[in-house]
């Protein structure tokens, strides 16, 4: 009931961002005062649609905004079956980790590697805003870490001077010194010849 004897309708799907409507409706009882947002007004049918969840920030959008595709995240395994695991990423956000994304090695059954309530780190590989689904990969995170390590090592190696380079530098320095001494001797010989 709204002011002026007007009724508003809140669809079950507009009660909560992270809970099913049938579960969320149990939090309300007749006579409760609530905050809601007007979603639509149908003046012909004299209906006003309201949303409770829209009065708060969508935790999924907030999470995705802070953790875009490619971001490493940590979470807790909530459930595991042969095909993969549901990972609790916090604030009611869940990600899905397929068994094929656990390792570069073939994993037939995720239960052989993962345990419920275990902590895990993975990379976000896809985000579907429509279905509110986040897909994770440990394999992709491991590959990224490995690539970074290779690049860092390559940078260190390319920045180093090898033993061969050091010997070549020393040899060239000695040749230049010897050429300078030879030139000095030739000049002295010319002076002696001139006397």
DSSP E strand stretches across the chain: 8-10, 37-42, 47-51, 72-81, 84-90, 93-98, 119-128, 133-137
Confidence of residue 3 (pLDDT cuts 50, 70, 90): low
Residue 118 CA to residue 133 CA, distance in Å, equals 21
Q: Which residue has the higher pLDDT, 160 or 11?
A: 11
> Encoding tokens for residue 57?
């920030």
With a cut of 60, say whether residue 157 has pLDDT above it: no
The whole-number pLDDT of residue 18 equals: 75
Residue range 84-133, pLDDT digits in tens: 999 999 888 999 999 999 988 888 899 888 999 999 999 999 999 988 89
The whole-number pLDDT of residue 78 equals: 95
Residue range 34-82, pLDDT digits in tens: 888 899 888 787 788 888 888 888 889 899 999 999 999 999 999 999 9
Which has the closest alpha carbon to 84: 52, 110, 58? 110
With a cut of 90, say whether residue 175 has pLDDT above it: no
pTM of the model: 0.61
SS3 155: helix
Confidence of residue 135 (pLDDT cuts 50, 70, 90): very high
- Residue 123 CB neighbour total at 10 angstroms: 21
């Amino acid at each position: 009931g709204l002011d002026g004897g007007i009724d508003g309708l809140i669809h079950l799907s507009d009660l909560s961002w992270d809970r099913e409507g049938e579960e969320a409706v149990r939090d309300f009882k007749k006579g409760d005062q609530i905050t809601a947002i007007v979603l639509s007004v149908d003046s012909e049918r004299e209906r006003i649609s309201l949303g409770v969840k829209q009065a708060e920030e969508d935790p999924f959008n907030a999470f995705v905004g802070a953790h875009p595709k490619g971001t490493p995240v940590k979470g807790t395994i909530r459930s595991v079956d042969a095909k993969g695991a549901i990972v609790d990423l916090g604030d009611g956000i869940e990600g899905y980790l397929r068994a094929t994304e656990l390792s570069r090695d073939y994993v037939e059954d995720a239960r052989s590697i993962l345990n419920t309530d275990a902590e895990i780190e993975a990379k976000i590989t896809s985000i579907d805003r429509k279905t509110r689904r986040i897909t994770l990969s440990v394999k992709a995170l491991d590959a990224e870490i490995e690539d970074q390590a290779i690049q860092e090592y390559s940078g260190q190696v390319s920045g180093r001077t090898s033993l061969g380079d050091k010997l070549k530098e020393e040899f060239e320095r000695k040749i230049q010194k010897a050429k300078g001494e030879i030139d000095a001797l030739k000049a002295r010989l010319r002076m002696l010849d001139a006397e």
